[in-house]
Amino acid sequence: MAATGVPGSRVVRSAKLGQLAAEQAVRGVGRRLSMIGRTEEARQVLAERSAMQTAQQIVAVLGSMKGSAMKLGQMLSVLDLDFVPEAYREQFREQFAALRDRAPAVPFAKMRAVIEGDLGPLARTFADFDETAIASASIGQVHRATLRDGRTVAVKVKYPGVERAVNADISNLEFLSKMGKSILPTMADTGVLEEIAGNLRSELDYLREARTQHRVAQRYRGHPFITVPDALEQYCSHNVLVTEFVESRPFSHIQTLPDAERDRLGELIYRFYIGSLFADYEFCGDPHPGNVLLADDGRLAFVDFGLYNEMDPVHVEFERSCLRAAAEGRPEDVYDAWVGRGIIDPESGVTVAECQAYVWAATGWHLLDEVVTITPELATGAILLAVDPRSVEFQGMHSQMLPPEHVFSRRADLFTFATLGQLRVTANWHLLAREWLYGEPAHTAIGRECEQWRRRSR
């Protein structure tokens, strides 16, 4: 399935994705589906929201709340802002990026009490401890430290009282729904908020995260392009997670690299976040720019394994078979599979064409055999079409219920797409996907080297 007639312009190639997806998904319906979504409608809605004028205040509230509310802000920070009124766009972008990269830190005196409550006096474990946080996230903040044996480590410490805050958020989804509505209508869906809050429970379990990170780090030990810092389980506790420290530069630096280098790193992000589900039946469910670093040795480093999920191979194979059917133009098979799985109620009025179009809108970047540049607008359009209950294109689909075992993987897919959109990377993503869709040999030099490494490491 070689790509032919590839447009030269990145913008043109991106637009072509929407055109070709529509032609395959809804041919005979008499209309075309745009992968970039109804951005004008979203712009009008957001223009009416006073939150556009108070982005800094919203960030202060979300950042101080931590927990579920802050996670909401982090998710919003990867979405395209072209549909935000231009007068507020830069302020909105900067303020929500702050939740991802520069969230307000808790004073060290309070964090020290948490550490020493679990590990005893700092001097017992650490020869040196930097009191200034190097990163702040939704559940805890990260400090650089030196163990008594001389190793440099990253120490993630849970915020005091964050467990109570998360549990309160879980019990108070109505409040989060109202806040979500004031920022982006997509987040008005309480099902999305319930998924966020439910997954936050696993993020609170640092001992589980340490075991997971150690296992994943061992899997990628010696990888030519990817590194995962190992968890030092002997120093980890309920509130403290200690891992190897990776000397690195942040995602914002990766965004400044030349096109070819960003494309190369984009392929690695795709392989790490998407390929692992279909190759290993497990995946990291929290893809966002704050969790991707460029290590000083040139490898791409992935951090934060609090939202890591294993998936029953039966469910993975169901997703694989549906994607293959959509890619091969077998919409009836997609519809029948979704009805059989209980995703679509056959009495709901959802048509075969609507089902196929929905799959293409949300996952078409894996299915289209063309070179495509993922832009922020393209990624945001897919997310809006997939989850925004106001979307006129898929009103029937939005009334259906995706089984819980698939919600997590679909979120990971969509937010990998959004993360890649922040890099504006170009590839034939379908050729990469064919490795896990059909078990084909790698189509890229990076893929072939990864295959060689995998064979050597078995």
What pLDDT tens digit does each residue of the chain (458 aa) get? Answer: 333 332 233 333 234 333 333 333 333 222 222 333 334 444 444 343 433 444 444 445 444 445 545 555 555 555 545 445 555 556 665 655 555 544 556 889 999 999 999 999 999 999 999 999 998 777 889 999 999 999 999 999 998 888 877 776 556 555 555 544 444 443 444 555 555 566 667 788 999 999 999 999 999 999 999 999 999 999 999 999 999 999 999 999 999 999 999 999 999 999 999 999 998 899 888 788 889 999 999 999 999 998 888 889 999 999 999 999 999 999 999 999 999 988 888 888 888 988 888 888 778 889 989 898 998 877 776 666 655 433 444 445 545 556 666 777 877 888 899 899 999 999 999 999 999 999 999 999 999 999 999 888 87
pLDDT value, residue 72 = 53
Looking at the domain assignment, is residue 105 inside a domain? no
Residues with Cβ within 8 Å of residue 74, at least 6 apart in sequence:
96, 99, 100, 137, 138, 288, 290
User: Are 52 and 195 members of one domain?
Assistant: yes
Q: What are the distances in angstroms from CA 59 to CA 62, 70, 219, 222?
A: 5, 8, 37, 40
What is the pLDDT at residue 360?
84
Helix pair angle (173-183, 190-203), 10° resolution: 120
Q: What is the pTM of this model?
A: 0.76
Which among 351, 292, 354, 341 has a CA at the least distance from the CA of 315?
A: 341
pLDDT at 342: 83
Residue 426 lies in a domain: yes
Q: Give counts: helices (H), strands (E), the chain.
A: 22, 13
In a domain, 359, yes or no: yes
Residue 107 domain-assigned (yes or no): no
**Domain that residue 317 falls in:** 309-457
Q: What pLDDT shows up at residue 392?
A: 40
Q: Are residues 328 and 191 in the same domain?
A: no
Q: Which two tokens stand for residue 7?
A: 């447009």
**50 and 196 share one domain:** yes
Do β-strands 248-249 and 226-227 pair in parallel, antiparallel, or remain unpaired? unpaired
Residue 427 falls inside a structural domain? yes
Please report which residue ranges of 368-427 form alpha helices under DSSP H.
376-387, 395-398, 404-423
pLDDT at 157: 95
Total structural domains in the chain? 2
Q: Are residues 450 and 323 in the same domain?
A: yes
| Residue where a domain stops, chosen among 150, 178, 204 | 204
Is there a domain that residue 351 lies in?
A: yes
Closest CA to 312 of 408, 177, 173: 408
**How much is the pLDDT for 416?**
92
Distance CA 169, CA 351 (A): 37
Is residue 357 domain-resident? yes
Say how far apart CA 101 and CA 98 lie, in whole Å.
5
Residue the block writes with tokens 């832009």: 375
The answer to whether residues 321 and 443 belong to one domain is yes
The verdict on residue 62 lying in a domain is yes
Relative orientation angle of helices 162-171 and 173-183, to the nearest 10 degrees: 80
